[in-house]
Amino acid sequence: MSLAVVHSRAQVGVEAPTVIVEAHLANGLPSFTLVGLPETAVKESKDRVRSAILNCAFEFPQRRITLNLAPADLPKDGARFDLAIALGILAASGQVPVAALENVECLGELALSGAVRPVQGVLPAALAARAAGRTLIVPRSNAEEASLASGLSVLAIDHLLELTAHFNGLTPLTPYEAQGLLRQCAPYPDLNEVQGQLAAKRALLVAAAGSHNLLFSGPPGTGKTLLASRLPGLLPPLAEQEALEVAAIQSVASHTPMSAWPQRPFRHPHHTASGPALVGGGSRPQPGEITLAHHGVLFLDELPEFDRRVLEVLREPLESGQIVIARAKDKVHFPARFQLVAAMNPCPCGYLGDPSGRCRCSTEQLQRYRGKLSGPLLDRIDLHVTVARETTVLHASPSKGADTAAAAAQVAEARNIQMNRQGTANAFLDLTGLRQHCLLAQEDQSWLETACERLGLSLRAAHRILKVARTLADLEACGSISRAHLAEALQYRGVTPT
């Protein structure tokens, strides 16, 4: 038969749309035509495939070869289609049975020798292949990653000859069995290692319990970074669907093994990071730090040192939980449901309000420093906490108080209450959820409205105070929000109620 069809998958953001590789052989002068919006790496596959077929002792057809990558309006890039193209040519020339290719999908880059090399973005393709009910053929280096899609039949190969022997019935391949190597997790740092800072630890517990955004402000060396690094250990384990989303993003972003999966990601970009590095971008859109922190923590240290225009791009993702990278030809959607934790000094030198009087920053310097953070951005941060300087004790033993395990247990109980009640963390409640689950007594509502009016707080800030108060009530397993919960939530806005 001179026509063969092979199924494969492209990579668009964290999605894997289907690509049908059609190979047709016709009479005429030998030629090799590749159509279907192939980019440079795909066009170069003609030479890789030709050498791989010949070096595997197969016959490369000396005919007019036309390869179509459908749909024709979807740009194709990378070397992930090499294996599908080679199988299409072999099947169209009668060296592999066409019928064997009907219920399989394949991904892989071919070496000139016929060896199969790993590619990026295998997990999204595995999830899509599972939904389509087909077997997925991948390089052996990608097999463990593909096996995360439970219920999917995966065939792992190292060489093109293994696959052709399987299809020709000479040496059938057995489905790959997951080894569980990706599920080894390093322990989280313990909260008890942070000396003192009971108020900051309390705020960290509240942030974890309700998935609230958090800002630490204080002099250098007070433990702001240490506190932020303990937050992932307080968060509940990822649900299966969340873990697959995190793994899919890691799969698209790099070739590196997912050694920390299924732990929640903790991203810590430097303050010189650009806007595209933070939110994603490029001519071929790639995920940025906010997407790599999906279902995890994004920690921005030295917050005012970031470029203001870079920080402003966080405003929409903080509300919507996604980022849309728009280009002239198309738009790519990346998930970005992250928890923001930021740290900053109170002034450029860091010692404003220090009893020693070391701060020499002028009013103009202080205004310029604080002016880097816009009101709308700060309005989206639920908890504003001042981290005071503790007494310096070298080689001190761990401070007394809740360790990570005990705090995580409290957080898990509060999250269970929230999931059973509303199906989401308190920070993600919409207006309907606020009206339904954050009801106040009439006198408490009047008190909160008066406090917000006197303090000049926006309606968004008032809503976030309600969400934090709901979390505080959940930590105490209270069915309703009390005045004490509202007062503590109001204090986390950096003000004191009167």
Domains of the chain: 3-179 (3.30.230.10), 191-395 (3.40.50.300)
Strand runs (DSSP E) across 27-157, as ranges?
Answer: 31-35, 64-70, 104-106, 109-110, 116-117, 135-139, 154-157
Provide the pLDDT for residue 498: 35
Q: What is the pTM of this model?
A: 0.88
| 183 pLDDT above the threshold of 60 | no
Q: Does a cis peptide bond (omega within 30 degrees of 0) precede residue 262? A: yes
Q: Where are the strands (E) in 225-357, listed by range?
A: 266-267, 280-281, 286-287, 297-300, 322-326, 331-335, 339-344
Q: How far is CA 210 from CA 62, 74, 213, 416, in A?
A: 65, 41, 9, 11
DSSP 159: B
Return d(Cα 310, Cα 321) in angstroms, integer: 17
For residue 495, is pLDDT > 80?
no
Return the pLDDT at 1.
57
Confidence at residue 71, expressed as pLDDT on a 0 to 100 scale: 94
At 402 the pLDDT is: 66
pLDDT tens track for 371-391: 889 989 999 999 999 998 876
Please provide the size of the chain in residues. 498
**Region for 114 from its dihedrals, namely left if φ exceeds 0, alpha if ψ lies in -120 to 50, beta otherwise:** left
State the pLDDT at residue 285: 84
How is residue 365 written in tokens? 């310097």
Q: Are 284 and 269 in contact (CB under 8 A)?
A: no
In sequence order, what are the beta bridge partners of 68?
22, 35
The whole-angstrom separation of Cα 252 and Cα 247 is: 9
Low-confidence winner among 356-360, 469-473, 494-498 (lowest mean pLDDT): 494-498
Separation CA 303–CA 346 (nearest Å) = 11
Residue tagged 């980019």 (tokens) = 39
The string of pLDDT tens digits covering residues 301-319 is: 999 999 999 999 999 999 9
Looking at the predicted structure, is the pLDDT value of residue 446 above 60? yes
Q: Which two tokens stand for residue 32?
A: 């090799």
Q: What is the pLDDT of residue 372?
A: 87
How confident is the model at residue 358, as a pLDDT? 85
426 pLDDT higher than 80? yes
The distance of Cα 278 from the centroid of its chain, to the nearest Å, equals 12
- Check residue 331 and give its pLDDT: 84
C-alpha distances (whole Å) from 39 to each of 73, 77, 88 are 12, 5, 19
pLDDT surpasses 70 at 398: no
If you average pLDDT over residues 464-475, what whole number do you get? 96
Q: Report helix, strand and coil shares of the chain as percent, to nearest 5.
A: 40, 15, 40
Percent of the chain with pLDDT over 70: 93
For residue 323, pLDDT beyond 50: yes
pLDDT of amino acid 496: 38
Structure confidence at residue 277 (pLDDT): 92
> Among 298, 216, 221, which residue's Cα sits nearest to residue 494?
216
More confident call, 209 vs 190: 209
